[in-house]
Structure 1
């Protein structure tokens, strides 16, 4: 399947499965140029991620014996459970070795890709293997069968972890296996209106697996993610006697990210008179899941909020300073998730 067709299929899947008419910002990467020049970043063991300039793709190694490492693209702002977003990505595995650590062979360990919150995922206490120390994840995992006494086989999994890891999604499990030598495409879409995560895998342009939907239970609180990442997780912190480990090599290509647009767009400001008084006002296109405040400073060090905080409405919003200084002032619009 060529790249243009892949992008079209992903776009149509997003429109069909998320909210018709919702604004979407789509960004695609074919890795024909160095991804680090396109905004991608590496955290951790940089040798695990290498740009293949000849074939236009990124070679990836997942090695759980090493510290948490990521090849990631920052979105630039946070998404939460009420936003809709997704990703399409080609990937290929040359080699998969479950149980690479001879002391950690009793259970499977995953290779992963999905949405993270960078500040959490790169923190010292982030341990994916414990199941309770990996907050703010929306991801796809493959757990290969480690053999031995493990009787449940391999699995393909969709999972969402809350902001404090105390809640996670239900469903999202399929007893399938990825095999080396096959080119896969993952299309993963989170629908904020229903709190569901959809995942579909294709091989050679043909539908292979629709993973059962992962959904947020009534007790689920919220999540915050701000980047898409290929994740090589450390296998530290697992329950003694139930540890797993993984080593895998492959590559990724043709990434298409679909996220809501930035919370502030088409920003414009002006001074004008109202009833003989000078005011400063700024207007912009807002988002529906954001709260906005106008801040003012005279030295770029000390900022103060002027006016009231206002919920976004999905349309044009205006914030006003009714008493601007006579000499000079500088303004910024601050947007945050409640």
Structure 2
């Protein structure tokens, strides 16, 4: 992680609460409940975020924080029989909450694409990769088979698949994990969507392939002027990809700010803990820090600050007595911590 990436003035970006830049995606006060054998359990609570055109917004946190289910709610992929959704999700001004499955199917692939964490499980093993890309083009753009096939080959070439014409006739099992992820990216971008959701797209890749994938996503974003919701637990990847970052913990956004400010001036103890666990930010020979404990399941969320049991700065009477709001002196840095103004937390530099 270079100094150039971590220092400088924060960009003029809207906060989670909104801003002047036109938003491709606006999520406001989103809450999700799942039906379990013990009844309805809330798994995401009061999440708000904006993604302007051409901007990458990160959603960061440990496993179990609610990142993936938030993205699945945006895509309308959660089962309706066992999920309650409240709040608002607007794509280019259109409300998605309450849309029929047919309406959502028309939007998925055409206006919003998704790159999943495990591409082999997302690609159909019974069809060639070329056919799977062409199917998206035929479904949403009404292309004939020959034209869709030609476009599919061009897309494979654009995402860096060598000998694209020949490899378009290959099946997913004939590709490496990195190549499968490139195919997923080609599918996500086939119809030039307004928004791409990337859910941990580099987690299963080795370091070299991960770097290539991130570089490719940056190139295609600039070329196509798309917005990206980038979901990850890796703050090193955040520094390379994101303009704005929302840190999630136990179903809530606990900090929201421009990428540079997050690294230089973290305000929430959870964010500080994540930064301290980055190997590149740890002095040589020093012991790598870890956050004690684990993310609690929704059934064990506290009434007050949900991070309190793991927090080194907790004051029980203040932090555990009542829910903590997401707030800040200005809209460019919001934090869900009652002691944010008192604590002198350390960033990754300085």
Range of TM-score over shorter length: under 0.3
Between structures 1 and 2, the one with greater helix share: 2
Q: Which has the larger radius of gyration?
A: 1
Q: TM-score, normalised by structure 1?
A: 0.26
TM-score if structure 2 supplies the norm length?
0.26
- Bigger fraction of residues in strand: 1
